[in-house]
Chains A and B, each alone.
Chain A
Amino acid sequence: MSTSPPPLPLNRHAVVDRYFLEHRAKVLDLAAFLDRVDRAKPDAADSNRDFRLDSLRGAIALLLDGEPERAKRVLDLMSDPSTEPIAAAPMKGATGAWEGFKPHSTPEKETG
């Protein structure tokens, strides 16, 4: 028999009290990171068009759309939407964002 999810015991004000400073710092880190990218010398590939930055900007826009499940939708936005195995592993690691991401692309759409 399944049990119901345990509801968050805190009220909204208590959540803000507890977590605001931590997330204020994270927003500042994010702002400083984007400033740092802008201050860095451009390279041949023009780092402002880096797919990781594009997906990060897409994720930031998503945070402000007023819709629920932001964490899930950020992860979906940064996920490879293809469904078939690739021919061979090109490396062992992962970059954190889908290389094919384009600004204004629809994250939920999946391709074969």
Chain B
Amino acid sequence: MYIDPHVHMVSRTTDDYQRMALAGCVAITEPAFWAGYDRSSPQGFHDYFSVLTDTEPKRAAQYGIAHHTWLCINPKEAEDPVFAREVLEIIPEFLKCESVLGIGEIGLNKNSRNELEILEAHLQLAADHDQMVLVHTPHLEDKRKGTRLIMDAIKNHGVLDPNRVLIDHVEEHTVREVLDRGYWAGMTLYPDTKCTPQRAADIFEMHGTDRLWINSAGDWGPSDPLAVPKCRDEMRRRGHLEATIRKVSFDNPLEFLSQTGRFRIDVQPTR
């Protein structure tokens, strides 16, 4: 039994839901993200948020998987602050949905001033509505700088409790600082970028298993919706205790996400 706390099922087929269920997935969370193209209007985001809060929970429930979501305008579409603020205005009406866990995945992409301005607007939105936060950190050469800028922005904002914020996509050069500053951290398991299942197992062995989870972030690019069970298998093959494997792939996400009061794992298949 496992939880995939970050996966973009809107980009995946129903077959993937079935495969994940067969591998033991009981619950997922799906942050709003860049769908591979820029949406041309706030209405496009309204439609996307409707898919995340209505269509995907129904698709997941067919296979007994509880579906939850996080809402935002992602940093890749935040370079136009006027447009981004129009999208932010429509988010509160969706926060009433029972499957919405908070604001995410917000953060930075290229570490620009406009991205930072919209990140700060999201932090205020989260504070105004007492929401938890899921953070996207930048890719590749931009990650270390962006991770620090994001954590500084949260600290400077001064309202959000780091224990209610998860900084995602950490790697060897960012994980220690994220944990030391009191945040939860996520490792994304990708074939080419971010972290492999083997490196994630290494990071657990070097940095511990507290406040740290794994996710597939399966989406429309090179990615694997079964990456979490593959990491569990890697840890099992190395000889790690079942309790350790369960902690990083079930107990930790359950503990963090349960703070929302909305996270559940008890969906019966509806097929």
Interfacial residues, chain A to chain B (CB-CB below 8 A) = 2-10, 18-19, 69, 71-72, 75-76, 78-83, 85-99
Contacts and interface: CB of A to CB of B under 8 A. Distances in A.
Nearest to B210: A2
A82 B110 contact: no
A87 B113 contact: yes
A5 B237 CA distance: 17
Interface string B146-175: 001100000000000000000000011100
12 contacts: A3-B209, A6-B204, A8-B238, A72-B173, A75-B172, A78-B140, A79-B142, A79-B144, A80-B144, A92-B109, A93-B139, A94-B138
3 closest Cβ pairs, A-B complex: A9-B239, A89-B110, A75-B173
Given A71-B202, A79-B142, A86-B111, 17 more contacts: A2-B210, A3-B208, A6-B204, A9-B239, A10-B238, A10-B239, A71-B172, A79-B144, A80-B141, A82-B145, A83-B145, A88-B112, A88-B113, A92-B110, A93-B139, A94-B110, A96-B140
Interface string B111-146: 111111000000000000000000000111111110
Given A69-B172, A89-B79, A95-B140, A3 B210 contact: yes
A9 B238 CA distance: 6
Interface residues on B, range: 35 or more
B76 A79 contact: no
A87 B171 contact: no
A85 B238 contact: no
B145 A79 contact: yes
Contacts of B209: 3, 5-6
Given A8-B205, A71-B202, A95-B140, A87 B112 contact: yes
B244 interface: yes
B240 interface: yes
Contacts of B204: 5-6
B85 interface: no
A92 B76 contact: yes
Contacts of A82: 145
A86 B108 CA distance: 11
Nearest to A19: B198
A2 B172 contact: no
Most A CB within 10 A of own CB, among B112, B145, B148, B208: B145
Interface in B181-236: 193, 198-199, 202, 204-210
B172 A72 contact: yes
A69 B172 CA distance: 8
B79 A85 contact: no
B141 A6 contact: no
A112 B238 CA distance: 42
